Amino acid sequence: TIKTEDISEISIKVIVRVRPPNERELQDNSRTIIEVVDDKMLIFDPKEQETPFFFHNVAQKGRDMLKKQNKQLQFIFDRVFDSTSTNTNVFEGSTKRLINSLLDGYNCSVFAYGATGAGKTHTMLGNREDPGITYHTVAELFSEIENQSKHREFALGVSYLEIYNENVQDLLHKSGQLHLREDGRCGVVVAGLEPIAIQNAEELLSLLAEGNKNRTQHPTDANKESSRSHAVFQVYIKIINKLDSQVQRVKLSMIDLAGSERASATGCKGVRFKEGANINKSLLALGNCINNLADGIKYIPYRDSKLTRLLKDSLGGNCHTVMIANIAPGSITYEDTHNTLRYANRAKKI
Ligand code: ADP
Ligand code: MG
């Protein structure tokens, strides 16, 4: 029997989060193009409510006959979060379930996908008042570890990397460019990377804050440099069974991806990605890996980028994945939002 990458074992949950409108979107020349129907369904570019125009008490129809038809596309996902949701809500409906998978021995990964300004960093990192799902997930992990401490022992290490222009940098130690190496036993490893041991989720918060200072640009800065880098946060867990001293190693990866707008702009025809002058190589490769996984193609082009090489053992195969597609609510970002929803819809097929 062949036991390679059994597609049926792959589990991906696709989640969409709509952020609240910003100042610009609240102005009256922007309309809302997302209608969240319930916690699984949304409509992209909904038909506007029929608000008949009254003239001498008679409803006048067809005032907008020349207007372009709305697309009125219905999408269904594992979960849809509307603009009132908090990071705690998103955590509870998305990555919380990964903790059991992790402690059962599955590598897990979480991606925040979407155009610049759609809310990826807010979802992953958040702020002091509303910490992101990275914090909540690690806090839950510590609490579950505590619950299991009678029969298992745990050691946790974290790393925080940035991939910018296909260069890998350690955000927690000042180092130069890091290299990926194939290691016969451990798969792909980052040469010279030293995970930092942590004892609780609060230590994580200060590490994340420290790491973000070392990013190419501050992550909340909506300029084009920061939107081109991927932030990869990883937790390595060593689980020791107290009864038989068996050791198991698992990994959780949480990735704040580069903005997807260039992937759209360079003509993502349907769902196929084409190489373009300015397109982010790692984002393109991730899209192609997802496409092949969705099509059930055996060959997955992990080797095509730093990001996909790094995540080879956490994407596809025997892993659990959560994809959070972040979208803005307004018509200003009509094409980006449409493309993000199509990408997310594609990922659902994995
Ligand atoms: P991205 O990382 O995708 O470029 P950000 O997370 O930086 O986008 O979000 C863009 C702006 O919108 C930021 O000012 C952020 O604070 C705000 N924002 C995003 N999502 C939310 C949300 N759910 N609630 C409130 N503000 C949000
Ligand atoms: Mg960001």
The interface pTM score, or ipTM, of the predicted complex is 0.99
Please write the tens of the pLDDT for every residue from 73-85. Answer: 999 999 999 999 9
Nearest Cα residue to 101 out of 314, 293, 285, 257: 314
Question: Per mean pLDDT, which range of 39-48, 103-112, 203-212 is the poorest?
Answer: 203-212
Indicate whether residue 126 lines ligand 1 (CB < 6 A): no
Nearest Cα residue to 10 out of 294, 323, 344, 317: 317
Nearest Cα residue to 168 out of 314, 279, 307: 307
- Our mutation pick for probing the ligand 1 site, out of 122, 129, 162, 332, counting the most ligand atoms within 8 A of Cβ, is 122
Indicate whether residue 220 lines ligand 1 (CB < 6 A): yes
Minimum CA distance residue for ligand 1 atom 11: 117
Report the pLDDT value the prediction gives residue 326, as an integer from 0 to 100: 98
Percent of the chain with pLDDT over 70: 83
Tell me the ligand closest to 215's alpha carbon: 2
The C-alpha atoms of residue 169 and residue 269 are separated, in whole angstroms, by: 32
What's the 215 CA to ligand 2 centre distance in angstroms? 11
Report the pLDDT value the prediction gives residue 249, as an integer from 0 to 100: 94
Indicate whether residue 121 lines ligand 1 (CB < 6 A): yes
Per-residue pLDDT band for 275 (boundaries 50, 70, 90) equals very low
What's the 134 CA to ligand 2 centre distance in angstroms? 14
DSSP, res 129: S
pLDDT at 207 over 70: yes
Per-residue pLDDT band for 8 (boundaries 50, 70, 90) equals very low
Question: Per mean pLDDT, which range of 47-51, 53-57, 227-231 is the poorest?
Answer: 53-57
Indicate whether residue 119 lines ligand 1 (CB < 6 A): yes
Helices within the chain (DSSP H only): 23-26, 87-92, 98-103, 120-124, 133-147, 201-213, 261-265, 281-295, 306-310, 334-347
Nearest atom of ligand 1 to the alpha carbon of 114: 3
Measured CA to CA in angstroms, residue 5 lies from 108, 128, 293 at distances of 15, 41, 10
Name residue 250's amino acid. V
Extract the tokens encoding 213.
């200072």
What's the 126 CA to ligand 1 centre distance in angstroms? 8
| Mean pLDDT to the nearest integer, 103-120 | 96
Please write the tens of the pLDDT for every residue from 116-147. Answer: 999 999 999 998 888 999 999 999 999 999 99
Measured CA to CA in angstroms, residue 121 lies from 1, 112, 113, 118 at distances of 43, 8, 10, 9
Average confidence score pLDDT of the chain: 86
The C-alpha atoms of residue 79 and residue 96 are separated, in whole angstroms, by: 13
pLDDT at 263 over 80: no
Tell me the ligand closest to 132's alpha carbon: 1
What's the 227 CA to ligand 2 centre distance in angstroms? 6
